[in-house]
Amino acid sequence: MESKLQLHGFNNLTKSLSFNIYDICYAQTEEQREAYIDYIDEMYNAERLTQILSDVVKIIGANILNIARQDYEPHGASVTMLIAEHELNNGQEPDNEESPGPLPDTIVAHLDKSHVTVHTYPESHPHDGVSTFRADIDVSTCGLISPLKVLNYLIHSFDSDVVTVDYRVRGFTRDVDGTKHYIDHDINSIQNYLTEDTQNSYQMIDVNVYQENMFHTKMMLKNFNLDNYVFGVNASDLGAQEAQSIEDRLRREMLEIFYSRNVE
């Protein structure tokens, strides 16, 4: 049995999870575009985002110290929470296994201060009818627990067509002998923290720099059903040529975001 690492004092490692979630939509007319943006603003207003982040805090076993939230004009919202985690119960070990995290459950460690934030960016352009909603989410912890355990919950809390995820462990902590440790858990890929159904639903690419404890995963939804992307109309009401043209524009938008470059 592997012996537990004995630290000198507090675990000073900072673990940061940052990711962008994109929802793609086709809204042809100005009225439909405005209706889509209004729908997004209502669906992901500051109150709803506060509830999502509150659930995230529960997953990492923390207490909320302070909440700052704001709905913006004309569009968008943001929420920031300062949190402090519970201390471990006697004999309880932190869950740092490279495996999917739960939907709200208790995972506890000890932590002085940390934060979770979310910002939303509804966006549209009148030329091709494509509208894109982006949510930027950051979960930062210092101590024993990895914020990767909240991935499943957050991906399922939004309509996620394209997701980009960054995870990095910063700093170092010392053991009782004074040796510095730059990471305190095994990780091969962010994908290992996703459930099997999520892995099967997305095309994924990893770009990892193991020696720097930096991990990056891109995800794009595999299945494409036009009915899930047109706003204000039914796909069955569109002509074959128009439907194909709309699908081409939507797929191009997803590919450009996934590969982070414009497609000619």
Distance, CA of 141 to CA of 150 (rounded, Å)? 12
Catalytic residue, candidates 25, 140, 142, 157 = 142
Q: Which residues contact 36 (CB under 8 A, 6 or more apart)?
A: 25, 27, 124, 131, 231, 232
H or E segment and range at residue 39? helix 30-43
H or E segment and range at residue 43? helix 30-43
Distance, CA of 228 to CA of 39 (rounded, Å)? 15
Does 114 participate in catalysis according to the annotation? Answer: yes
Q: Which of 215, 209, 171, 224 is nearest to 194 (CA)?
A: 215
Q: Which residue type, as a one-letter code, is found at position 137? A: I
Tokens of 119: 């910002």
Distance, CA of 149 to CA of 103 (rounded, Å)? 9
Catalytic residue, candidates 114, 131, 146, 160 = 114
Does 127 participate in catalysis according to the annotation? Answer: no
Catalytic residue, candidates 75, 86, 110, 119 = 119
Distance, CA of 248 to CA of 260 (rounded, Å)? 18
Q: Which of 27, 260, 47, 246 is nearest to 132 (CA)?
A: 27
DSSP label at residue 176? T
Does 18 participate in catalysis according to the annotation? Answer: no
* Cis bond before residue 74 (omega within 30° of 0): yes
- Residues acting as catalytic residues: 114, 119, 142
